[in-house]
């Protein structure tokens, strides 16, 4: 119900004073630097894997950006306290949980904003996971005369203070990512982007409005060259159970 899509890195060089070296030593040095580079990449991968796996670092180094680049130790307990404040579900997550259940869906799709929409039917099942932190949606129906399956994941980031969602379906291989805020219609207004099959990027806006606990409306818009928004899809959810 709440619905796609959004690298680079910087190298750091440390200047070190060294004695002049011969050509042969220079070649050896290049090989050594290559090995060191591979070690840095491998080390970064291990750090990322450890983070995703849920490992907790109890200490961290905060770098002061002064002329001497002085490093000082951050209090581990302060870090732990700050982290614990961000992990508990709150009122925003409780709002997402209102979507739990089975829904019958009527979907309208506009290929041409000036033409009548295609109308199709489907159903979706929503549930909260991970201790009430994320809402998962599994959709099944038809679109443009073809079977349509989609999956969405929506949550609220306690640090960013933003709702965030990802969406995937069998009409593509990309992942649409969106983020936004609650609106005054009992739902969310979220923005994101996705790759355009014709080339370039499509900027998207999704607006959810909740008429009551059993009826929800979702509209998807694409940004036009003049800065306006054309409606491309509308989904009406009616609670089934």
User: Whole-angstrom Cα distance, residue 123 to residue 42?
Assistant: 45
User: Whole-angstrom Cα distance, residue 186 to residue 135?
Assistant: 16
Determine if the pTM surpasses 0.75. no
Domain ranges (residues) in the chain: 91-239
Q: Is the torsion defined by CA of 156, 162, 163, 166 positive or negative? A: negative
Question: According to DSSP H, which parts of 53-161 are helical?
Answer: 76-87, 91-97
Tens-digit pLDDT profile for residues 62-116? 444 454 444 567 889 999 988 898 999 999 999 999 999 999 999 999 988 889 9
* Residues 205/3, Cβ–Cβ less than 8 Å: no
Given 3.40.50.10470, 3.40.50.12280, 2.40.128.20, 2.40.33.20, which CATH number is that of 91-239?
2.40.128.20
Measure the N-to-C terminal CA separation of the chain; round to a whole number of Å: 15
pLDDT value at position 72? 62
Tens-digit pLDDT profile for residues 136-193? 999 999 988 899 999 999 999 999 999 999 999 999 999 999 999 999 988 999 999 9
């Amino acid at each position: 119900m709440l619905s796609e899509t959004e690298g680079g890195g910087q190298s750091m060089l440390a200047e070190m004073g060294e004695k002049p070296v011969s050509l042969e030593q220079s070649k050896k040095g290049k090989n050594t630097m290559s090995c060191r580079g591979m070690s840095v990449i491998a080390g970064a991968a291990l750090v990322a894997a450890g983070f995703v796996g849920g490992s907790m670092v109890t200490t961290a180094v905060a770098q002061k950006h002064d002329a001497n680049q002085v490093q000082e130790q951050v209090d581990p307990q302060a870090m732990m306290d700050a982290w614990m404040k961000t992990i508990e579900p709150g009122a925003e997550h409780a709002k997402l949980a209102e979507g739990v259940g089975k829904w019958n869906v009527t979907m309208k799709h506009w290929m041409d904003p000036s033409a009548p929409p295609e109308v199709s039917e489907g159903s979706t099942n929503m549930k909260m996971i991970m201790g009430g932190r994320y809402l998962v949606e599994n959709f099944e129906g038809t679109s443009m005369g073809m079977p349509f399956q989609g999956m969405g994941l929506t949550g609220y980031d306690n640090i960013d203070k933003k709702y965030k969602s990802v969406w995937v379906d069998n009409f593509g291989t990309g992942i649409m990512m969106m983020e936004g805020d609650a609106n005054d219609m009992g739902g969310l207004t979220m923005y994101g982007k996705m790759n355009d099959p014709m080339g370039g990027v499509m900027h998207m806006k999704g607006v959810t409005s909740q008429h009551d606990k059993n009826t929800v409306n979702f509209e998807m818009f694409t940004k036009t060259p003049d800065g306006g928004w054309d409606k491309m899809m509308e989904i009406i959810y009616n609670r089934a159970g």
